[in-house]
Structure 1
């Protein structure tokens, strides 16, 4: 018998036997939670869980496959409509943040899960568990490594770390107050980890402070009243969660066990558009600063702010930046430097390394200062790179100074020297003045000066001849520039060391000397002849 006949017989037999060929209805899936108890209140007694819980589930379908799951949660005494509040997922587990009503410290929350099969049928009796939960207070701390200096200009930054054991999604915000908490806190987004306060009027006695968030310096659109300039300030911080619970209020500066501040937050007032930076961290800084002050006064720059970076010691064995600098170059130092439009920076070390030297750190974020029309005179002897900075790599100060390259010693050359009486020769008029620097000469043997090369956009102002090692007849044939200015008058460099102990190293050959030379370079950079102009931001 052939296959077709067999099929016909089976068909006839089926008809004769009375079989019904209609398709059966789809059967709904079933769901189980990994938490076997339907009400954890019975299991936990007086104990409660944190509001973030991990839940897993599974489903079975007797006539198909489970394609997805619907999940929802709600307060036990406020059940939603049967089809309200569901969220569909293909996952079989999740970390759920169970909501606690605003202002409450605990809640009983139902979690329900129902399976959905490949035909769209849902479990009519979802798996269900009641979770008794409690709200935990959030926490907040200041990152000590990025705390502001004890004395700072009116750009003050803090690095913040907030957390919540109930889950970071439970954080509602970071709140901040200045000097007075009774006036209320200003709330920032919960993901803020860095905040900067900028004085709206940096020359006032008391002013409001605009808040900026993140290292990208985003205006938060809010301000704090009552920033005191030339006075101590206190910043208060706290974290707030979605239930309205707050962390312990953090005070900066903190108080010791006797209720006394463990530090200060002294915010200085800006008084001028000119800043004199004392970055002399070896020897007698008073001598060098005295020359700088006289140079400023020569053409009438009588009013200026002073920033002392000299107190933090510097050594090759343990290089470190001044503790008076903001710990964060960007945005804090960048915004601080833009408070002035003329800077006279006096230092003992700039070009030898960027590690621990202050001007390279500042130069890396000086774009805002220059974009606002800023100009800078740097008075520092040129020294050659050392250690990791061999070749002068990664030193932003070299990029802003009017020099192209530092010299390199040929084989066998260890040092350059110049005898007493060696001329320091004016090389060109100072742009913007129509005058050349006064002739100078070495007052004694010079062992601590080095020349450098200038680029096509740099104007050499002084040249000086040297000899190699200790052989006066062995003339140095390389670069001779020891002072220069950029043609656009954005920056100038005076690279002659001034003192060996108490003794001056250079003197004028006429009535004018080093002070007059520095004053003329300041004039070329348009330093003001009075203190009437205000600082700008």
Structure 2
């Protein structure tokens, strides 16, 4: 019993003490917020002459706060004592800066200052500062190879290049280029350009001005460029200029011969080899029909596996074809020719150009390709288990008034007649022979036999005639000149 009384008394005393403590508040003065202290990773940089830093530098900093947290930083390259200086806020501890040298100078000292801000918004009253001795570096530029790099071309020329600068690509200002002579006033090109098409404006001049299309732009620059020489070898020179006006040495392109067109009529030789005799055939027959002035483009000619006259890309090839009003395209490889034509004849047709195409179609042609979309052909006729042949005396029968019947002079083991596209008109059927692939027996073919057709443009004019037989092999009746007259004089209106 006595023990219980003792415990009760102790509990009462302890409770009283605790109650008394809870009623006492903290006393004294609250400490004021102390500012943070800011530091750069190094406190001094000593570099002189060529040992100075490049214009692109990485700067790091840190800070300490004795009674709080660091919320961020402000930095400036202006004077810290100036009331007009601009401070820039960041939460980062490092940043890469491009410190541009003023135009005309090759070196400068930049004073970088940084101050920390604590979680209560108090700023370091003594910012950390560091001087960066910077030297501008010369930029550089080099030509880059395209898919095709023609050494002979008509005056639509494409080049690509790549500029660089040790101080960072942002330090580049522009490019300057000139044709053939680096002592002339250079042509200025904006820094975003990595290539351009140069197109002559006057095909009658030996030294025409050029339109300049930057990158893949369809609209030329306002200013024209001089210096190009037709029927002569040409070199394009280019140099880079940076924001400090430092200039790279000129880089020289490979040499290419730029042909001066002699006409508005182009023969496109699509043979990979042996096309010279076919060129002679067309030249002679066109002359007999009254067309005596033509240009020639062996578009798939190669030397050491490289195309010598095929344009670098579809855009420049399309502009080149658009230099002409009429094109005769002949080839023993329909895949290459129709593929290129589909990708590069838009400009030509948009300028009301007229095309005659004679391409041999073999069994290798991909029926799923879209090469036929621009032609009068909807699809090819491919009989099941049957091969269609043309003998060396087969008749090519005219389906339209004015076109003479023709006759084959060669045996062809594979012939591809076709279904015409909507709006197209059949011009010729061939008397074909059908070979049963199982029994090898031969019989006359009674199916669709169209081997030549035409289509018209929006003006109602015939602008495209195509034959899947090679025309120079259809002069068995010695009347092919009459065919040329009908096509080019009466149909095309030349």
Q: Is the 8 A contact 1:321 1:358 kept in 2?
A: no
Aligned: 1:405 with 2:379: yes
Q: Secondary structure at the match of 1:450?
A: coil
Residues 53-202 of structure 1 mapped to structure 2, 5 A cutoff? 53-73=57-77, 81=82, 84-145=85-146, 148-202=149-203
Q: Secondary structure at the match of 1:360?
A: helix
Residues 37-436 of structure 1 mapped to structure 2, 5 A cutoff? 38-41=43-46, 47-73=51-77, 81=82, 84-145=85-146, 148-253=149-254, 264-283=255-274, 285-309=275-299, 311-312=301-302, 322-330=307-315, 332-350=316-334, 353=335, 357-385=336-364, 390-394=366-370, 396=371, 398-411=372-385, 413=386, 415-427=387-399, 429=400, 435-436=401-402
Q: Deviations over 1:80-102 (max 9, x none)?
A: 72551322223222111122222
Change (3 A) 1:218 1:6: farther
Q: What is the aligned partner in structure 2 of residue 32 from structure 1?
A: 39
Change (3 A) 1:425 1:24: same
Q: Structure 2: how far apart are the matches of 1:206 and 1:520?
A: 38
Q: How many residues are treated as equivalent by the alignment?
A: 476
Q: CA RMSD in A?
A: 3.1
Change (3 A) 1:477 1:80: farther
Quote how far apart the aligned CAs of 1:524 are: 5.2
Change (3 A) 1:138 1:14: same
Q: Structure 2: how far apart are the matches of 1:473 and 1:200?
A: 58
Quote how far apart the aligned CAs of 1:490 are: 2.6
| Residue range with higher mean Cα deviation, 56-65 or 109-118 | 56-65
Quote how far apart the aligned CAs of 1:359 are: 4.6
Change (3 A) 1:292 1:45: closer
Q: Deviations over 1:423-478 (max 9, x none)?
A: 21112x2xxxxx33111223454435432221222211110132233756433344
Q: What is the aligned partner in structure 2 of residue 432 from structure 1?
A: none
Structure 2 portions without partners, runs of 5+ = 1-11
Q: Deviations over 1:60-89 (max 9, x none)?
A: 334443333222236xxx887255132222
Q: Deviations over 1:162-214 (max 9, x none)?
A: 11111101111111122332232222222210112122223222221122211
Q: Is the 8 A contact 1:147 1:157 kept in 2?
A: no
Q: Is the 8 A contact 1:69 1:114 kept in 2?
A: yes
Change (3 A) 1:186 1:149: same
Higher Rg of the two aligned structures? 2
Q: Structure 2: how far apart are the matches of 1:161 and 1:444?
A: 52
Q: What is the aligned partner in structure 1 of residue 454 from structure 2?
A: 485
Q: Structure 2: how far apart are the matches of 1:27 and 1:423?
A: 105
Quote how far apart the aligned CAs of 1:20 are: 5.0
TM-score normalized by the length of structure 2: 0.86
Change (3 A) 1:518 1:100: same
Quote how far apart the aligned CAs of 1:137 are: 1.2
**Aligned counterpart for 2:425 among listed residues 459, 463, 467:** 459
Change (3 A) 1:451 1:53: same
Change (3 A) 1:67 1:516: farther
Structure 1 portions without partners, runs of 5+ = 254-263, 430-434, 529-537
Change (3 A) 1:29 1:218: farther
Change (3 A) 1:418 1:146: closer
Q: Secondary structure at the match of 1:370?
A: helix
Q: Structure 2: how far apart are the matches of 1:267 and 1:369?
A: 20
Change (3 A) 1:40 1:525: farther
